[in-house]
Structure 1
Amino acid sequence: MMEDLNIRNLKRLKLKKCINCAEIPAIWQLSLLENLHLEEMKGLRHIVGGTGKHVKGSQSLITFSALKVLIIEYLLNLENWREEDSDLVDFPNLNKLDISRCGKLKSIPVRMPLLASLRVYDSSEIKLHNISNLPMLSSLHIQVANSCSEPDAFRPPKTLEKMKIIGFENVIPLEEEEEDQLICCQTKSLYILTIFNSNCFFSCGPTEVVALGFWKYFEALEYLEISNCSAVEFWPEEEFRSLKCLKNLWIISCLNLRGSLQVAVSMSSSCEHWEDSLPHLELLRITDCSELVEIPICSKSLTNIIIWDCPKLSREGLAHLTNLSELKTIHIDGLTNWGAWPDNMEHLPSLEELRIYSCPGIESFPEGLQQRLSSLQYLVIDGCPALERRCRVGGDYWHLVSDIPNLRIVNERESFPKKLLNCMSGR
């Protein structure tokens, strides 16, 4: 068939909405094919069909010799890579594999020695064990919806650099015995991690020891985002203990997070502990955590603090944020529980950018911060009526802020379009 169609030199192929196609042609015979995209083929159950006229013997190895990119989407009835034995399908040069909405697919191919990028989305039957074995994987984006009673086991591949995981619930770390058999070492290259709606990574009741088993793989992390994880109620001090290289920490929409430590300690011992815990933290961003009352962090290396939509966070909840001599940027929005500017955030010798939105309780700045205003490069005041009046022409602070290169003081009338847009967007 390949010769009849005169497509032997084909490098890219996309098949879409071939609804009645139960078996695709022998495309592995296209020796130059580098990019293959299969989409919306409801009748397809196997990428490589029965032995028939295309395959010589059920035990022969089928090789996609030149394929570098493989994308399969909405193959709702796809079950395996090959009808007889999925292990006998070889992708020796595959670099990128994207699997989306293939709800019956049970595994990823075993033979992918050069695979660097893997994305698995809404394909709940795929087991995680084979992913842990990929020898060259550097980027992993995976969403699972594990509905089985038996937990699945997972360990990040040792070459992994970036990972985004979504929906990990009934997942546990690989047992040590299995790791020994796989001749695996700890992941030292993983520096970007996003955890979305995946409670299995956080200690909660009887799962505490199991959850902590994942974090030994995250020692090299520089960027960590935690989003929509309802199991995060206290500050994850045990989980963060090994994150000595972490520079950027984002916590988003963890609606049960109160922020306090699970075991109460004195402020002095807590501060000493956190300076050791996250010694290189530069950026802290916390957004949409409606129960947050405290941030028990006091890293001397902080240069950027961004806190949005945490209505229960009072200025007393930032008492641990001391030694902020390196702090350059502060963004706060929607901190309606602030009755005044925090006393411990008064002396900020490196501050260059200050943005304050929707904090009506802040009516003035302490003297130490007033002295820093004239050195700012950026100042934005929006939704803080008393503070706005002080910073306008004729106000108490006008002589301090008038020469700031990037100055924006927004009055109530100017704020209305912004508030309307925020309301329409759900903010």
Structure 2
Amino acid sequence: MGTVATYNLKGLSHEYCLSLFKKLAFKEGEENLYPNLLEIGEEIVEKCKGVPLAVRTLAGILYSKVDERKWKFVRDNEIWNLEQKQGDILPALKLSYNQLPFHLKQCFAYCSLFPKDYEFISSLLVQFWMAHGLLQSPDNEKQELEDIGELYIKELMSRSLFQDAYADASFGYTFKMHDLVHDLALSIAKGECSVVTKTSTLATGVCHLSILESGQEVTTQLERLSKVQTIIFKTEQPMSILKACISRFKYLRVLDLSDSSFEVLPNSIGSLKHLRYLDLSLNYEIKQLPDSICKLYSLQTLLLGGCSNLERLPKGIRDIIRLRFLILTTKHTCLSEKAVGCLDSLRFLMIGRCENLKCLFEGMEGRLTYLRTLIVDECPRLSSLSLSIKHLTALETLAIMDCEELSLTEMEGEDNQDLKLSLQKLLIKGLPKLEVLPQWLQGSANTLQLLWIEECENLKALPEWLPHLKSLHSLRIAACPNLSSLPEGMEALTALRELEIRDCPDLSRKCREEDWHKIAHVPVIYLEWTRFPIEKEDSVSE
């Protein structure tokens, strides 16, 4: 119920797994008679990743067998390829899967397309599911599809089908699937989702592909298919394969070309009328997008992050009116209404690593009314957002990081006192020109839950209205050396649960001494020079 910290049970150590494996795979006293099998057994144990039931399953398959070929077969095959009986690992895992409602079974199976140890980004996986229409329609008008996708992820986590969740800098989070859970997804999705190699055998009805290798063997396999809706290129491919996929698979919904080095895209890409998800991330060669891309009227997700040589966006991009999720790196100096006119439906916008960018959103007054997340990162010349905060009534998450020329003063409106905003999370980091927090933050007095301020060396004082943020539960202040005190009335922040102050020597000292009464009510406090959270019973000197 949360009365004490959660204890996360770890997997069995390699030493104990190996001991268990020896006991179950060999007859008593015989393990030392077969050193060659023991060596293979160590590699099999690694495959189990600390799960005792997996050790028991694989050891049981090999019990009393001394044929080295059979041991290598177990070592080299996915667990779902091995014959198992009731009570073994895969049937046991499948019990969790069988309890899932149908829509979650579909979403889980699609995750088999990604490799083992893949780090899923929550927001992108939701977009991937959305592209295939896997998210149920909302029960009420206010609920967004993105919220439904987040609920799906949390449900799969609660059933231990996802694990190792970590928050990232922009308030999203990443997670992984255990190798054995990935094997389960493979076993469920085979026939519909396939990983393509030179030696793979594809069912004719397969719809979703992750292509790990290139060559004529791969091309030949693709020629047998016709119903493909997903293509994820996980290795560099020639233009000929891309053109062949575009011409053959007219019902593509997801096309992932991330980490590729195509200098141009074929004009034929505009023929993919059903395409909803296009990923061109980290393509350092591409300079322009073909004008035909503007015919992708169903496109919901466009990922252009890390495309550092992209000179411009096509003029007709304003016609992609269903776009909900956009990540952009460009050589543009100004993103104006003329350059990006497709923002009316956007829910998520990230603009990062734009070295030439000087202004944002020029002429876009009132165009971002559905925007919920805005991230601006590593734009060293950006001096103006040209943005009036009063129109961003749906904005929930705002992160502005490493923009040396930005002060945020231009975001002030004329009637900040009457603003009614929905902002819940705000991260300000690496803004040396920021001297005061913007007044418009008061418009989120009833909604702001998380406020992080980092590396703002010229921020001189925290505003006297800071205690008005009644919903604030996490406050982090780091590397702001000119801050020397907290404002009066911090005791009013009764919702505050975590306070972190580091690399602010004067502020940290004062919080330990004369300002301690302002923060004594906060359950968890991290101050400079402390390794562990200060608890209520600890003395100030600690």
Q: For this structure pair, what is the TM-score category when the shorter chain's length is used for normalisation?
A: 0.5 to 0.7
**1:360 maps to 2:457:** yes
**1:212 matched to 2:315:** yes
Q: 1:221 is matched with which residue: 300, 305, 323?
A: 323
For structure 1, which segment, 369-378 or 292-301, has the greater mean C-alpha deviation from structure 2 after superposition? 369-378
Instruction: Output the CA distance in 2 between the equivalents of 1:161 and 1:396.
Output: 51
Deviations 1:389-419 (A, max 9, x none): 423xxx6354344x3432313132756899x
SS in 1 for 2:365: helix
- Structure 1 position 336, deviation (Å): 1.5
Kept in 1, the 8 Å contact 2:246–2:272? The answer is: yes
Instruction: Return the alpha-carbon distance in structure 2 between the equivalents of residues 102 and 255 of structure 1.
Output: 34
Contact 2:350 2:375 in 1 (8 A): yes
CA shift digits 1:201-260 (9 cap, x unpaired): 763xxxx7xx123452x321221111xx34232124324323321111111222222224
Contact 2:442 2:469 (8 Å CA) reproduced: no
Matches of residues 287-366 of structure 1 in structure 2 within 5 Å?
287-298=377-388, 299-301=391-393, 302-319=395-412, 323=419, 325-349=421-445, 350-366=447-463
Q: Over residues 316-369 of structure 1, what are the superposed CA-to-partner deviations in whole Å (9 max), with x where a residue is unaligned?
A: 3434697562222211111121122224444433323211112232232344x3
Please tell me whether the aligned partners of residues 346 and 366 of structure 1 are also in contact (alpha carbons under 8 angstroms). Answer: no
**In the alignment, which residue of structure 1 is the partner of 2:261?**
145
The separation in 2 between residues aligned to 1:165 and 1:336, in whole angstroms, is: 32
Q: Secondary structure at the match of 1:126?
A: helix
Partner SS for 2:436 = coil
Paired amino acid for 2:315: L
Look up the match of 1:274: 365
Describe the shift of the 1:326–1:171 C-alpha distance in structure 2 as closer, same or farther (beyond 3 A): closer
Q: Which residues in structure 2 correspond to 1:97-112 (within 5 Å)?
A: 97-100=209-212, 102=214, 109=222, 112=225
Q: What is the match of residue 382 of structure 1?
A: 478
Aligned to 2:373: 283
Query: Alpha-carbon deviations, 1:273-312, whole Å to 9, x = none?
Result: 421x222111111112222211123333222211111122
What letter is aligned with 2:499?
Answer: R
1:170-209 to 2 correspondence within 5 Å?
171-174=289-292, 186-188=296-298, 190-198=299-307, 203=312
**Structure-2 separation of matches of 1:105 and 1:312:** 52
SS of the counterpart of 2:485? helix
| Aligned match of 1:169 | 287
Over 3 Å counting, the alpha-carbon distance change for 1:379 and 1:214 in structure 2 is same
Report percent identity of matched pairs: 17
1:390 partner amino acid = S
What amino acid sits opposite 1:360 in the alignment?
Answer: E
1: CA distance between counterparts of 2:376 and 2:530? 25
C-alpha distance in 2 between matches for 1:396 and 1:381: 17
Question: CA shift at 1:127, angstroms?
Answer: 5.7
Q: Where do 5+ consecutive residues of structure 2 fail to align?
A: 1-75, 78-111, 114-189, 506-526, 532-542
Does 1:408 pair with 2:408? no
- TM-superposed deviation, 1:158: 2.3
Q: What is the CA–CA distance in structure 1 between the aligned matches of 2:466 and 2:191, rounded to whole Å?
A: 62
Cα distance in 1 between the residues matched to 2:212 and 2:317: 26
Residues 105/356 of structure 1: CA separation in 2 closer, same or farther (3 Å cut)? farther
CA contact (8 A) 1:155 1:174 kept: yes
TM-score by length of 2: 0.49
Q: Say yes or no: does 1:136 pair with 2:251.
A: yes
Structure 1 residue matching 2:226: 3-state secondary structure: coil
Deviation at 1:132, TM superposition (A): 3.9
Match status 1:116 vs 2:226:
no
Instruction: Report the aligned-residue RMSD.
Output: 4.1
Q: Supply the distance in 2 between the matched residues of 1:325 and 1:348 (Cα, whole angstroms).
A: 5
Contact 1:91 1:111 in 2 (8 A): no
- Structure 1, residues 149-196: CA drift from partner, whole Å, max 9, x if none? x965422722223221143435413399xxxxxxxx7532x3222113
- 1:202, 1:239 within 8 Å by CA — same for their partners in 2? no
Name the one with the larger strand percent: 1
Relative to structure 1, the CA distance from residue 72 to residue 417 in structure 2 (aligned partners, 3 Å threshold; closer, same or farther) is: farther
3-state SS of 1:399 partner? helix
**Using a 3 Å threshold, how does the CA distance of structure 1 residues 240 and 230 change in structure 2: closer, same or farther?**
closer
Distance 1:174 1:374, change over 3 A: closer
- Tell me what 1:125 maps to: 239
Higher relative contact order (CA 8 A, sep 6+): 1
Asked if the contact 1:358/1:383 (under 8 Å) is kept, the reply is yes
Flag the 1:245–1:170 CA change in 2: closer, same or farther, 3 A.
closer
| CA–CA separation in structure 1 for the residues paired with 2:369 and 2:273 | 24
2:332 aligns with 232
- Structure 1 residues 170 and 230: CA distance shift in structure 2, 3 A: closer
**Compared CA separation, residues 220 and 231, structure 1 to 2 (3 A):** same
Q: Residue 468 of structure 2: which of 332, 351, 372 is its match?
A: 372
Query: What is the SS of the residue equivalent to 1:360?
Result: coil
CA contact 2:317–2:342 (8 Å) conserved in 1: no
Q: 1:107 to 1:253 in 2, by over 3 A?
A: farther
Indicate conservation of the 8 Å contact 1:103/1:122, yes or no.
no
Query: May I ask how many residue pairs the two structures share in their alignment?
Result: 311
Q: How far does residue 111 in structure 1 lie from its aligned partner after superposition?
A: 5.4
Unaligned stretches of 5+ in structure 1? 1-12, 15-34, 37-65, 79-88, 177-184, 263-269, 419-427
Instruction: Within 5 Å, give how 1:83-94 maps onto structure 2.
Output: 92-94=204-206
Q: Note closer, same or farther for the CA distance 1:396–1:372 as it changes in structure 2 (3 Å cut).
A: closer
Which stretch has the larger CA shift, 159-168 or 408-417?
A: 408-417
In the TM superposition, 1:3-18 aligns within 5 A as none
Give the one of 338, 341, 344 matched to 1:241: 341
Deviation, 1:114, is: 1.9
CA pair 151-223 structure 1, distance change in 2 beyond 3 A? closer
